Structure 1
Amino acid sequence: MQERFRLLADEALRTQGEAFSKANVERLEATLTPLKEHVGILKKNCAKSIKKLSKTVRV
């Protein structure tokens, strides 16, 4: 009886752990994807600003 309980508990924990991990990955992706896009936009804007500034400083 104890062995059966242990097996059932192990299976339940494994299943819940997998579901929890999947949910965490989905939440992280939902958070990080927009952040990644915003960082990319910021990087482009910084590069443009640096280019403009370098042209101004040279003149």
Structure 2
Amino acid sequence: MPIRPELLEILACPQCKEAIHPHPEDDTLRCDRCRLAYPIRDDIPVMLVDEAQGY
């Protein structure tokens, strides 16, 4: 799951607009404010609130 740093700089949580970060143990990008985990499928972040899961 190598997400490029340039991509991480521009991605934000679609719900609250805060920064997200990759989680080292699974293929997700997490928002600490909303407590949502967005999946990464085939190296593509799925930044849809409907696809996110709480953690």
More strand by share: 2
In proportion to residue count, which structure has more helix? 1
Name which structure has the greater RCO, CA cutoff 8 Å, separation 6+.
Answer: 2
Which bracket does the TM-score occupy, shorter chain normalised?
Answer: under 0.3
Determine which structure has more spread, i.e. the larger CA radius of gyration.
Answer: 1
TM-score (ref. length: structure 2): 0.19
